[in-house]
Structure 1
Amino acid sequence: MKSGSLSSGILPLASLTLLLYSTLVLSNPDPLINTTSTHRSNKVLHDCDCFTVSGPDPGYYQHYKVWDFREVSFDRRIDPIPPPDVDDEDDEEFTDDDTESFPHEGGNQSMWFFETGFDKDWMSQQWDRPGNSKAPVDMINSKRNVFFTRNYELEDPHATYLVLRTTRHEHFTSTAEIETRVRNIYRCSLRVRLRILPACISVASPSNISNDSSWQPSIPVLNNISGTVANSTTALSGDRPHPGACVGIFTYHAQNCESDIEILTSDPSYRVRYANQPDYDPVTDEMIPGASTVADLPVPWTRWSTHRLDWLSSASRWWVDDNIQDSKTYRVPNLQSRLVINLWSDGGVWTGDMALGDSIFLGIEYIELAYNRSSDGSRGIDIPPSQRHGGHQKSNDKVSISDIEELEEESWEPDTDLVTGSAKKKKKKKCKKGRKGDKCRKKLPRPRPRPKNPSHHGPMEPPCRRACYIDGDNFRHDVFG
């Protein structure tokens, strides 16, 4: 995930070929929305060979993506499986375990994340973690805690944003997490425009979970341990969320190769925590000096603001609204990683506990990413690394996975196509009557060749003749409008 500086010299033809792939994707769920701006954005991005960022190190990233959640169309449903077509023998097989259409309340006021094309790049998670002595409340991640809703604070009737939700139930906490399907990001500049919503705001969700048992994953009985750190209702001011949860935005490879932004809803609304892992020494039972910082921000996280993490070759830097907040050289991640955004609570010392029935909502307007990728990739991980996430989540070995099909690794192929966000279809392999042999065999993806001695020294470095400065006013106007 590292972003080493790109060579300006002339490289062999193979390296020059890679230059053609150093493009970006502007991800909008509906190509009919703001098409003029989108076309202008794609033209601007096509003119870029690499991307630089503000700060002491420009980064020189080969790829760039924006996932814009501000105008998502809700006029879609998951289509039923199409009937067999005997004349079409070359259809590819798509998989999606959510083939039924879920009810929507309030006249299309919300929509599940997994119903849209954004799910191509980000997976909403569905798995559980039983409680233990340090994290006494069972956690259940559900993909139905990740959805789009209307932004009623704006006059635009089409305005929307993404929501992650966590809710305290009697015996467990229902939590939310999304993570990239790509696992070989190697240095990046990640920006998330977010707001933790005040408890007084009403959020429309796609279905009434109190009347819908299907939102909860099928899992064995968990080992809920009674007695939590704090399970009481706290008096709230008008702009405060409920206490007891943690927002995490981080790169992840392993528990000792991770860079974090964490926000505790029990903290003052201007406080945030930055760390490179590990930041805690279990032998001495003390925090590691220089590994973490508690920072007070110029803008509270209850207002819309852009939180940024730069993963560079020799430092991690954290920003809010273009103002640098912290920088660390301690244990800068040095291995290919994925990106994770979550909202969770386990009743432990770090998050505290939520009061029974309380819900906390994280709103996200967009995710922006300039990044490089390692040249060797990563295959064969059978459990999403986030389930073993260290940091301040107290993991254990009892991890169950409810939908293993979701774990297949995808790759973002650099191109200029828009992610449409349309509902995914599940197609069956068809074969003409009487056909046998190769014509009827399921098409399998060809395995990628693996190097004999894989290296983690970073991506190949094509020349960068046309660098685009993504923090410049002109660039941001062209891309975001």
Structure 2
Amino acid sequence: MPRLSTSPSLVLLVSAYLRFATGTPSLTDDSQCGCYLTNGTITGYFTEHKFFDFRSLDQYQGVPAPITDIDASANASVTSDYFNSAEWNSSWSLQAWNTSGGARGDATVLRVNSPNNVYIEKNTDPSPASKTYLTLRTERLPDFQTAAEVESRSKTYHFLSVRMLARTVGSAGAVTAMFTYSGGQGADVQEADLEVITGDPQGLVHYTNQPSVTSGGDVIPDATQNATLPDGLGWSDWAVHRFDWTPTQSTWYVDGVRTGNISFQVPRDPAQVILNSWSDGGQWTGNMSLHDAAYLQIQWLEMVYNSTGAEPAQRRSLLSGRAEGCKAVCSVDETSKTGTPVMLWTSGAGRACVRGSGMAGWITVGLVLGMAYMSVG
């Protein structure tokens, strides 16, 4: 009966194969990816990838003065041609609504969203990590609170992992947020929030699966968590904030460290992605002093996601969290270049699923077994 040899040739063969199969993934592009596998507490497969890079937009940078008239603020033009570009307008919409028709119950100040408060700003940090970034501004003016909100044009995101390199700076009395939203008001809303309250201590952020209060005004403890940022970070420090929405859990991370997870009333239905910076003088935001301001600043934003939109049926099947029919699995977590995916593995008839891409990425099962067979004695 043949037995496996302990010859140096077999040892070298197996060692080389294992190194190859677990080696550093190769950079690729989205056209080569069938799906995207995320790491984290709950891994997930997603069909689509988007990356928005605000770090080198010098030609669009400029900080506009606040507009102090309510109507003029709401009707303001975009602050640069970047917000007229196909890259921006294919995915995002600048908001211009106000709360005159339905303010929060304890609001003391009219909130007016304005396109004038969303702009590309030059990075003047010492030793800056980017040339520019996207800014969402809110400021207390004599007659109202001017604010900023950016909403995704798509309302069909159905499970996702969204990340942004961001910080919040400025005065107390405001909230900055990244969240998913669907539904209506009150108990009908489905929402998963990351919120920074600028009156809070620097290390504190808030995570919520809305609604977080009952119709009678009682807090729902299982719906919300107050989290401490890792490694002594404050919300005014640049950090990668990540939110994973999976069928059973909402999970948040900061710089790769899990900081919160909520399994209670996880959003079920397709949703938008929303960013904002705002105040209404109520108990949640606090009351901002006249002419004070706060800012959400973002260097880049990235999403891998599933959608209920017009996509092939086999790609929508990944809404279940399984990679059925996905023959090329990529990652945005293991990449060495932010925004560019890497190929984790590909599969094909008679071929092993291994890391790597291109001709060097294929090792057939038959070749490995054949070489091993020649080493038995």
Matches within 5 A, 1:56-67: 56-67=41-52
Question: How many angstroms does 1:281 deviate by?
Answer: 1.3
Aligned to 1:181: 153
Q: Is the 8 A contact 1:113 1:119 kept in 2?
A: no
202, 206, 212: which is aligned to 1:269? Answer: 202
Aligned to 1:259: 192
90, 101, 116: which is aligned to 1:120? Answer: 90
Aligned to 1:13: none
Q: Is the 8 A contact 1:372 1:459 kept in 2?
A: no
Q: Distance in 1 between matches of 2:138 and 2:77?
A: 24
Q: Distance in 1 between matches of 2:30 and 2:289?
A: 47
Aligned-partner SS, 2:30 = helix
Q: Distance in 2 between matches of 1:55 and 1:129?
A: 38
Q: Is the 8 A contact 1:113 1:124 kept in 2?
A: no
Question: How many angstroms does 1:193 deviate by?
Answer: 1.1
Gaps of 5+ in 1: 1-39, 78-96, 103-110, 198-240, 378-412, 415-456
Question: How many angstroms does 1:462 deviate by?
Answer: 5.5
More strand by share: 2
Q: Distance in 1 between matches of 2:134 and 2:61?
A: 16
Structure number with higher relative contact order (C-alpha < 8 Å, ≥ 6 residues apart): 1
Q: Is the 8 A contact 1:184 1:336 kept in 2?
A: yes
Question: How many angstroms does 1:61 deviate by?
Answer: 0.2
Q: Distance in 2 between matches of 1:263 and 1:177?
A: 15
Aligned to 1:52: 37
Aligned-partner SS, 1:281 = coil
TM-score by length of 1: 0.56
Q: Is the 8 A contact 2:45 2:322 kept in 1?
A: no
Aligned-partner SS, 1:165 = strand
Matches within 5 A, 1:314-463: 314-375=248-309, 463=325
Higher-Rg structure is: 2
Deviation string for 1:187-218 (max 9, x for gaps)? Answer: 00011111112xxxxxxxxxxxxxxxxxxxxx
Question: How many angstroms does 1:132 deviate by?
Answer: 6.0
Q: Distance in 2 between matches of 1:300 and 1:156?
A: 18
Count how many residue pairs are aligned between Structure 1 and Structure 2. Answer: 292
Aligned-partner SS, 1:46 = helix
Taking a change above 3 Å as real, the CA distance of residues 479 and 354 of structure 1, as seen in their structure-2 partners, is: same
Deviation string for 1:305-331 (max 9, x for gaps)? Answer: 011110001111011010001111101
460, 463, 470: which is aligned to 2:332? Answer: 470
Taking a change above 3 Å as real, the CA distance of residues 112 and 171 of structure 1, as seen in their structure-2 partners, is: farther
Q: Is the 8 A contact 1:188 1:310 kept in 2?
A: yes
Q: Distance in 2 between matches of 1:172 and 1:344?
A: 11
Aligned to 1:146: 118
Taking a change above 3 Å as real, the CA distance of residues 146 and 100 of structure 1, as seen in their structure-2 partners, is: closer
Q: Is the 8 A contact 2:33 2:330 kept in 1?
A: yes
Question: How many angstroms does 1:340 deviate by?
Answer: 0.3
Taking a change above 3 Å as real, the CA distance of residues 321 and 57 of structure 1, as seen in their structure-2 partners, is: same
Q: Distance in 2 between matches of 1:280 and 1:157?
A: 40
Is 1:290 aligned to residue 222 of structure 2? Answer: yes
More helix by share: 2
Q: Distance in 1 between matches of 2:255 and 2:77?
A: 40
One-letter amino acid matched to 1:72: L
Aligned to 1:281: 214
161, 165, 178: which is aligned to 1:249? Answer: 178
Aligned CA RMSD, in angstroms, stands at 3.1
TM-score by length of 2: 0.70
Q: Is the 8 A contact 2:139 2:294 kept in 1?
A: yes
Taking a change above 3 Å as real, the CA distance of residues 357 and 113 of structure 1, as seen in their structure-2 partners, is: farther
Q: Distance in 2 between matches of 1:120 and 1:365?
A: 19
Percent identity over paired residues:
32
